[in-house]
Structures are given as C-alpha cells and as structure tokens.
C-alpha cells in the first residue's frame, strides 16, 4: 500500500514510532519528517498517517502549521490516521493529547480518519519509548492497512481511560 507517515520529533521517539509504522506497512510506505514533505506530494498516497510528540497537550508547531496550510482537497478520498507520543505523568493528562487534535485538524480539512487516534508512551520527556511500543505501533499500522477495527487494542483502552 502506498502509505506516507508524516511526523515531527524533538528527541527521536516519535521518529522511531513513525519508522516502525512505515516499516510494518511494507516497501511502498515511507516515513518523512514534516519539514521534508510538500502538500502536493500527498496525492501519490492512499494512506496517510500523521504523528507528533505531545507538547502541552498539542502537536508541535510544525505539524499544526502543516495541517493548517493543507489545500482543501489534499486529504480527500485518503485513508487517514493520527498518532502521538506522550508520557504517563499524572499532571499531563489534563492537557489532552496531540493525536486527538491532529484528528480534529484532519476532519476540519474534510478528511476522514479510518482509525482511532493512538498514543505511544515514552518514559519522562526525552524517552526512551516504553518497552513494547514499537511492536504496538507495528500492530496498529497493520490493523489500519487491513481495515480491521483498531479500537480494541490495549493502547486505545489506555487512551480512553486517560481522556
Ligand atoms: C515542551 C514540552 C511539553 C510537553 N508536554 C507534554 C504533555 O502535555 N503531555 C504529554 O503526555 N507529554 C508531554 N511532553 C512529553 C513529550 O510528549 C515527549 O517529550 C515526547 O513524546 C517525546 O517525543 P520525541 O522524542 O519525538 O520528541 C512534553 C515535552 C516537551 C518538551
């Protein structure tokens, strides 16, 4: 499947998740940092997955700007999904998560997400990723590609509990 994973990453954890996702989607998938992709390149892909570290409950400025500047039809007829990285701190729960807001921005552009937004956990601020998150990212990606529901995955349960 022609799939593009667009990500931002300050410390490298979201980049690792993005690469695990594109790796699970096969040879026709690739992961690119948000600054390296132009909106007109999206036309070549049927599945687009966008991910960001959660910073203050939001996506990074680069991801937010990229989404805000997308032309109205850029996401039309695409399969779309959003993810973030986040930590498990009690204090951060009140701010919300980047993936939920990326999904809202996708919908505001007329795009339809085909999977629930997903969060992957890091230890502290700089990481590393919590054990098993790369594998969970690969499983999530394969579920999206196969068109099977992702809402029963263990990670989604955690997302719902926190929201
Ligand atoms: C300025 C800043 C704000 C952050 N705010 C949140 C937050 O609101 N919620 C959260 O779960 N994690 C928060 N974090 C932790 C990040 O989610 C974590 O650094 C990120 O997942 C690491 O991904 P990266 O290596 O791709 O940058 C914040 C980190 C930074 C640097």
Tell whether the model's pLDDT for residue 12 goes beyond 50.
yes
Tell whether the model's pLDDT for residue 162 goes beyond 80.
no
Where would I find the H helices in 2-59? 13-24
Q: What is the mean pLDDT of residues 104-120?
A: 93
CA angle 134, 25, 56 (to 5 degrees): 50
Q: pLDDT of 46-97, one tens digit each?
A: 999 999 999 999 999 999 999 999 998 899 999 999 999 999 876 777 788 9
Closest C-alpha to ligand 1, atom 20: 53
Tell me the pLDDT of the chain averaged across its residues: 90
Q: Among 101, 125, 129, which residue has the most ligand 1 atoms within 8 Å of its CB, making it the best to mutate?
A: 125
Taken in order of first residue, the domains within the chain and their CATH numbers are 3-162 (3.40.50.360)
Closest C-alpha to ligand 1, atom 28: 55
| Per-residue pLDDT band at 161 (split at 50, 70, 90) | very low
Q: Among 18, 34, 55, 92, which residue has the most ligand 1 atoms within 8 Å of its CB, making it the best to mutate?
A: 55
Around 55, how many Cα atoms within 13 Å sit in the side-chain half-sphere? Answer: 15
Within 8 A by CB and 6+ apart from 77, the residues are none
Closest CA to 122 of 132, 110, 114: 132
Q: How far is CA 73 from CA 4, 69, 110, 132, 143, in A?
A: 17, 11, 8, 36, 26
Is the CB of 14 within 6 Å of ligand 1?
yes
Q: What is the mean pLDDT of residues 84-112?
A: 89
What is the rounded distance in angstroms from the CA atom of residue 121 to the CA atom of residue 113?
21
Share of the chain above pLDDT 70, in %: 91
CA of 45 to the centre of ligand 1 (A): 29
Tell whether the model's pLDDT for residue 7 goes beyond 50.
yes
Closest C-alpha to ligand 1, atom 10: 86
């Amino acid at each position: 499947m022609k799939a593009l994973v667009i990500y931002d990453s300050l410390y490298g954890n979201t980049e690792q998740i993005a690469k695990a996702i594109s790796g699970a989607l096969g040879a026709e998938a690739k992961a690119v940092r948000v600054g390296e992709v132009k909106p007109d390149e999206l036309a070549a892909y049927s599945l687009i997955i966008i991910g960001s570290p959660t910073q203050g409950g939001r996506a990074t400025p680069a991801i937010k700007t990229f989404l805000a500047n997308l032309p109205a039809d850029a996401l039309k007829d695409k399969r779309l999904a959003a993810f973030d990285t986040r930590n498990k701190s009690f204090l951060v729960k009140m701010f919300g998560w980047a993936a939920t807001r990326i999904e809202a921005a996708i919908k505001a552009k007329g795009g339809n997400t085909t999977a629930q937004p997903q969060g992957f956990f890091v230890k502290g601020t700089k990481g590393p990723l919590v054990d098993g998150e790369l594998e969970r990212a690969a499983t999530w990606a394969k579920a999206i590609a196969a068109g099977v529901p992702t809402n029963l995955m263990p990670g989604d349960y955690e997302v719902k509990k926190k929201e």
